[in-house]
């Protein structure tokens, strides 16, 4: 009988065999990294509003990137990108969710100011356009699916699981992650979690094994981890040197120094409950890793007292 770790390895091999990954060309000719990040943010906001899973957001973002890549290579798209994002959410829900949002409700989301309401006909026509641009190749494996199996293989701790899941969610926003396969993103997120926890034992024991599972060299995985950390630091304004300001001076977020430990402290201490993406609950009591806010309270502070 297979052990839990061996069964997870078999599941990874089968998942990779069932879903061939193809690198998505950078979409810079159509969208700048900042514009793409804004579009991804809108997609994630819509998935949260409909209480959808993070995997659904990841699949929708992947489809959006593939459509944009086709457009950047010359394919004609007669659909606004905001509608493309909504349609990608709609298609993704048909694979990941039990219930699919009503088209009429989805059409109202992310509506630019002054824009007339979108019609059901427009949304259905846009869906067909997107499906054709995707060549009806819709079933993809998201990093979350691989990550669950990697947790079993490596025996990840609860703190490690929280961090790795956070980094996978965060990876949606970074355009440079388009160069990596879903399993490499999952592995890079797990490696970054080990690094931030100082779990040298797990790093030494499992890193080479992760590279074999991903079928990439160690250099590629370390690059993936580095990009994730770089994005994390750019979002949370982390720095190694604390900027000293007078105690009486008002707090300036641009001068704030936060470490990974201070950012994750509320989760580790369970002073807040990890908020399921999409939950329509009091944001002062819950924290969602799906959207990366510009700052979080330092260790010892409560979310309720942070002004969020």
Tell me: the pLDDT tens digits for 178-215? 889 999 999 999 999 999 999 999 999 999 999 998 88
My answer on whether 210 and 257 are in the same domain is no
Is residue 4 included in any domain, yes or no?
Answer: no
Owning domain of residue 157: 143-236
Torsion angle of the four alpha carbons 44, 228, 307, 267, in this order, in degrees rounded to the nearest 10: 90
CA angle 48, 79, 49 (to 5 degrees): 10
Q: Please say whether the beta carbons of 145 and 12 come within 8 A.
A: no
Nearest to 222 by CA among 253, 180, 280: 180
Q: CATH code at 217?
A: 1.10.472.10
Question: What total number of domains does the chain contain?
Answer: 3
pLDDT for the residue 135: 86
248 is a domain residue: no
Q: What is the pLDDT of residue 272?
A: 37
User: Domain end: 133, 153, 184, which one?
Assistant: 133
Phi, psi of 287 (to 5 degrees): -130, 125
The pLDDT tens digits of the residues spanning 97-117 come to 888 888 989 988 878 777 788
Asked if residue 68 lies in contact with residue 105, where contact means CB atoms within 8 angstroms, the answer is no
Residue 244: inside a domain: no
Residue 71: alpha-carbon gap to chain centroid: 23
Question: What is the pTM for the complete model shown?
Answer: 0.74
Give percent of the chain with pLDDT exceeding 90. 38
Measure Cα distances from 271 to 133, 284, 303 in Å. 45, 11, 9
Q: Which residues contact 246 (CB under 8 A, 6 or more apart)?
A: none
What is the distance between the alpha carbons of residues 276 and 253, in angstroms, rounded to a whole number? 27
Within a domain: 202: yes
Q: For residues 303 and 298, what is the distance between their CA atoms, to the nearest angstrom?
A: 9
166 with 198, same domain: the answer is yes
- 3-class DSSP assignment, residue 53: coil
């Amino acid at each position: 009988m297979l052990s839990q770790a061996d069964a997870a390895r078999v599941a990874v091999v089968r998942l990779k065999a069932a879903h061939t990954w193809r690198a998505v060309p950078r979409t810079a000719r159509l969208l700048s990294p900042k514009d793409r990040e804004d579009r991804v943010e809108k997609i994630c906001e819509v998935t949260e509003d409909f209480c959808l899973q993070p995997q659904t957001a990841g699949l929708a973002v992947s489809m959006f990137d593939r459509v944009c890549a086709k457009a950047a290579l010359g394919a004609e798209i007669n659909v606004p990108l905001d509608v493309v994002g909504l349609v990608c959410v709609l298609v993704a829900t048909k694979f990941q969710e039990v219930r699919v949002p009503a088209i009429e409700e989805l059409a109202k989301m992310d509506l630019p100011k002054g824009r007339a309401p979108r019609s059901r006909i427009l949304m259905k026509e846009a869906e067909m356009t997107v499906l054709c641009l995707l060549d009806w190749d819709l079933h993809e494996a998201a990093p979350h699916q691989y990550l669950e199996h990697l947790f079993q293989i490596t025996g990840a701790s609860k703190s490690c699981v929280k961090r790795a899941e956070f980094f996978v969610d965060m990876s949606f926003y970074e355009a440079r992650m388009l160069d990596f396969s879903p399993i490499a993103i999952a592995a890079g997120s797990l490696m970054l979690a080990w690094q931030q926890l100082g779990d040298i034992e797990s790093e030494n024991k499992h890193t080479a094994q992760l590279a074999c599972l991903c079928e990439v060299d160690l250099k590629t995985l370390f690059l993936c981890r580095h990009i994730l950390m770089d994005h994390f630091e750019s979002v949370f304004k982390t720095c190694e040197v604390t900027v000293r300001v007078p105690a009486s001076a008002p707090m300036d977020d641009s001068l704030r120094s936060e470490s990974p430990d201070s950012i994750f402290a509320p989760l580790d201490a369970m002073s807040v409950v990890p908020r399921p993406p999409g939950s329509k609950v009091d944001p002062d009591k819950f924290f969602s890793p799906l959207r990366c806010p510009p700052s979080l309270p330092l260790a010892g502070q409560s979310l309720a007292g942070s002004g969020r």
